[in-house]
A = this chain, B = another copy of it.
Amino acid sequence: MTRVVVTVMPREGVLDPQGQAVQISLDRLGFGHVDNLRIGKRIELDIPGDDPEGQARTMCEALLANPLIEDFTIAVDG
């Protein structure tokens, strides 16, 4: 069983309204110097068997990420 972390972020150039709203809010809370804030998803999961990374890639392509607007990266623990 391998713990795998999939990160799904909005693609470069794609609007990230959530990141934008949070940055506005941080600004109002006195963190105006913060920049380039982007928000994506972190998905942690256990994958048994061989090639957990390859399996995770297949899952990303099938479901976890939308290639039109999101990029994903996969990290395998340990």
Contacts and interface: CB of A to CB of B under 8 A. Distances in A.
Interface of A: 1, 7, 9, 19, 22-23, 25-26, 29, 31, 33-49, 55, 59, 62-64
Number of copies: 2
B31 A59 contact: yes
Contacts of A47: 33-34
12 contacts: A22-B64, A26-B59, A26-B63, A33-B47, A33-B48, A36-B45, A37-B45, A38-B44, A38-B45, A39-B42, A40-B41, A42-B42
Identify the interface centre among A19, A23, A37, A40: most chain B CB within 10 Å of its CB: A37
A39 B63 CA distance: 14
